[in-house]
Chains A and B, each alone.
Chain A
Amino acid sequence: RKEVEQDPGPFNVPEGATVAFNCTYSNSASQSFFWYRQDCRKEPKLLMSVYSSGNEDGRFTAQLNRASQYISLLIRDSKLSDSATYLCVVSVNNNDMRFGAGTRLTVKP
């Protein structure tokens, strides 16, 4: 079983749609959780951290369920510029971040 698992997609949605991604992790000792975004042939960029209480940044909402060991990312009112691969990241300690394989999103006009 992979340490961090994501549905690879692709998710093809129209502009303005709401889309949600889930990610599961296997190590119950994981302490920190993040979503990164990676555009085609570009480096990953931090999108947001995921806190136990859930957190929101504009159109993006991240939630953590420690009991079920999953993380979610919700994108509302999708824009064309949201098209990218979304990487779920889990860390047990300060120096070892485990990335999922990513979920590809395409937002169409």
Chain B
Amino acid sequence: ETGVTQSPTHLIKTRGQQVTLRCSSQSGHNTVSWYQQALGQGPQFIFQYYREEENGRGNFPPRFSGLQFPNYSSELNVNALELDDSALYLCASSLAVSPYEQYFGPGTRLTVT
């Protein structure tokens, strides 16, 4: 186990709704990255948070937003859900000094109907 936890495990939402996913990073890790993994695909980078600020973003629209808290935990918010948002959402924590050694949580599986 990596020590990274995510909640909820599974979620079903309706198109147009909003969702908030949560991530607790591994102890001591100050950087959190979020990824979207569609079935049969590799994870796609959404954004990264470091010291409570967004520190890079992938090709995702503004309706994907996030937060990082002083304890380094993080939230991913998605507004106006679309059917294509159905995926596994993974968060990964790391240390800023070794950003590539990322430890992933088990993910939240989101289904949009």
Chain A interface (Cβ < 8 Å from any Cβ of B): 4, 8, 32, 34, 42-46, 49, 87, 91, 93-102
Secondary structure of the B side of the interface? Answer: strand
Chain B interface (Cβ < 8 Å from any Cβ of A): 2, 33, 35, 40-45, 48, 50, 55-56, 58, 90, 99-107
Question: In the complex, what's the smallest C-beta–C-beta distance from A37 to chain B, in angstroms?
Answer: 11
Q: Are A96 and B43 in contact (CB under 8 A)?
A: no
CA distance A8 to B39 in the complex (A): 13
Secondary structure of the A side of the interface? Answer: strand
Q: Are A95 and B55 in contact (CB under 8 A)?
A: yes
Chain A's closest residue to B49 (CB) is: A95
- From B40, B55, B101, B104, A44 is in contact (CB under 8 Å) with B104
Chain A's closest residue to B48 (CB) is: A95
Chain B's closest residue to A97 (CB) is: B45
CA distance A96 to B55 in the complex (A): 9
Q: Are A101 and B107 in contact (CB under 8 A)?
A: no
Q: Which residues of B contact A101 (CB under 8 A)?
A: 40-42
* Chain B CB within 10 Å, residue with most, of A4, A42, A87, A97: A97
CA distance A94 to B107 in the complex (A): 22
Given A45-B2, A46-B101, 19 extra CB contacts under 8 A: A8-B40, A43-B2, A43-B105, A43-B106, A43-B107, A44-B104, A46-B100, A87-B42, A87-B43, A91-B100, A95-B48, A96-B45, A96-B56, A96-B58, A97-B45, A97-B102, A101-B40, A101-B41, A102-B41
